[in-house]
Structure 1
Amino acid sequence: MENPKRLFAILGGLLVLLVIGMGLQGTKLYSQTSPEQKILPAARANVSGGEQGTNRNGAKAEKEIAVHVTGAVSKPGVYRLPAGSRVEDAIRLAEPLPDADVEGLNRAASLTDGRQVLVPSRQGEGGEGNNRVTAAASSGQGLIKSGGSSSKQAGVSALININQADAAELDRLPGVGPSTAQKILQYRETKGPFQRTEDLQNVPGIGPKKYADLKEMITVD
């Protein structure tokens, strides 16, 4: 009887050891696979971060404008500026020459993509005579400088938005005095903003001839 009991005891011990060994092996396998599961979220975060960086770079690129600065400057050329930049920002980068007449420019005017900034000189660079228009690249817009003596010696240094200009700005336009400027403001109040520059002829006192003198100096954008 003792031999069978001893045999059962030995078999039972072996069975217990087998169960313990299988449990240890399973724990080891689980610990080997768990690091991969922890790495996946980190990798996913890296991919997400890369996409966000691309979006930020793309958004930054869309907010730049190209502006051509020429005239009485030491570094004429095309400059890339943040959207919302002013004429002052562009001419500062181009470094005006000692004889540059920067006071003849509206340095607070906003810049748009494709605009050309012409910095005049005190010697009247650009020729003599009436107001001279310099066309801007691609957009057809431009800056206007006074090349000779007139009743409005300062001239118009940037396109004037007839939908946003006040009476003082409108009065700077040749042929537009305080009375006509008030009529333009009254037209905007009663009729709404101008849809195109040609609509300025609907204002009393501005006919085809006067509009022809103004059309290169105004905008509705």
Structure 2
Amino acid sequence: MTMLQSGAGIDTTSAAAHDGAAEAAAPGTPSGENEPPADTVVFVHVVGEVLNPGVVELNAGARASEAIEAAGGATPEAALAGVNLARVVVDGEQLLVPDAEQAAAQRASAAVEGGGVTSGGSATQGGLVNLNSADAAQLETLPRIGPALAQRIVDWRQTNGAFSSVEQLLEVSGVGAKILENLRDRVTV
């Protein structure tokens, strides 16, 4: 497992794994075959109440709980009830570990919208896509949101923090009044 932060890789494997020592290889495999093929790993950006926020590398099929552990574990302030720890993470997603205040705001937002948090804190709430927790793939399920615009929304959120209102989408390059109107009843914050 590798933690990538600020452009630098921080390797969490043993030193023996790097010098090619046979004892570092998995049992029954030749030395150097203990790294999974590139198509079996995912990169997840873990943010919020974790000890080492940043991009972590995990095996495909890993759970949110594994991503949090790879980021050093949750801080004492983390509200893990606001995260579905059993959810399989996907490549390129951002996983937000909220504090108590953020978790309460998510629940309040869901209640105002007439929905409830589904799947223990997923990016959809009452059928609405949450702009503050959805990854690019989830944003692409929205009308008129393609891969490029979905990534700009995620990038805006990473740069500026959580959206405080749906109308704040207008600050994202490529989102105009017409797109906002199409999304207004399909998204939440």
**TM-score with structure 1 setting the length:** 0.38
Task: Identify the structure with bigger relative contact order (alpha carbons < 8 Å, sequence gap 6+).
Answer: 2
If you compute each CA radius of gyration, which structure gives the higher value, 1 or 2? 1
Tell me which protein shows more helix as a share of its residues. Answer: 1
**TM-score with structure 2 setting the length:** 0.44
